Amino acid sequence: MRRIAIEEAFWLDDLSTGQIDASKIASPYKPEYRSRWAARLIDFTEYRLPEMDANGVDIQVLSLATPGIQMQADTDLAIDDARRANDALAEIVNEHAPRFGGLAALPLQNPEAAAQELRRAVKELRLHGALVNDHTLGHYLDERRFDIVWGELQDLGVPLYLHPSNVSADRWHVLDGRPELDGPTFSWNATTSGHALRLIYGGVFERFPQTTVILGHMGEFLPFWFARLDAAHRRLETKENLTKLPSQYFAENFVITTSGVNSHPALLAAIQAVGIDNVLFAVDYPFESTADAVAFLDTAPLASSDREKIAYRNAENLLRLRAV
Three-state secondary structure readout of the chain: CCCEEEEEEECCCCCHHHHCCHHHCCCCCCHHHHHHHHHHHCCCCCCHHHHHHHHCCCEEEEEECCCCCCCCCCHHHHHHHHHHHHHHHHHHHHHCCCCEEECECCCCCCHHHHHHHHHHHHHCCCCCCEEEECCECCECCCCHHHHHHHHHHHHHCCCEEEECCCCCCCCCHHHCCCHHHCHHHCHHHHHHHHHHHHHHHCCHHHHCCCCCEEECHHHHCHHHHHHHHHHHHCCCCCCCCCCCCHHHHHHHHEEEECCCCCCHHHHHHHHHHHCHHHEECCCCCCCCCHHHHHHHHHCCCCCHHHHHHHHHHHHHHHHCCCCC
pLDDT at residue 20, as a whole number: 45
Query: Could you give phi then psi for residue 240, rounded to 5 degrees?
Result: -95, 160
Full pLDDT tens readout for the chain, 324 residues: 999 999 999 999 889 886 444 444 557 788 888 889 889 999 999 999 999 999 999 999 999 999 999 999 999 999 999 999 999 999 999 999 999 999 999 999 999 999 999 999 999 999 999 999 999 999 999 999 999 999 999 999 999 999 999 888 898 999 899 988 988 889 899 999 999 999 999 999 999 999 999 999 999 999 999 999 999 999 998 888 999 999 999 999 999 999 999 999 999 999 999 999 999 999 999 999 999 999 999 999 999 999 999 999 999 999 998 644
Q: Quick check: 8 and 51 in contact, CB under 8 A? A: no
Question: Has 53 been annotated as catalytic?
Answer: no
pLDDT at residue 17, as a whole number: 81
pLDDT at residue 16, as a whole number: 85
Query: Which residue of the set 58, 81, 134, 284 is catalytic?
Result: 284
The CATH classification of domain 4-319, taken from the options 3.30.365.10, 3.20.19.10, 3.20.20.140, 3.20.20.10: 3.20.20.140
pLDDT at residue 143, as a whole number: 98
Tell me the pTM: 0.96
pLDDT at residue 24, as a whole number: 47
- The Cα–Cα gap between 73 and 132 comes to 16
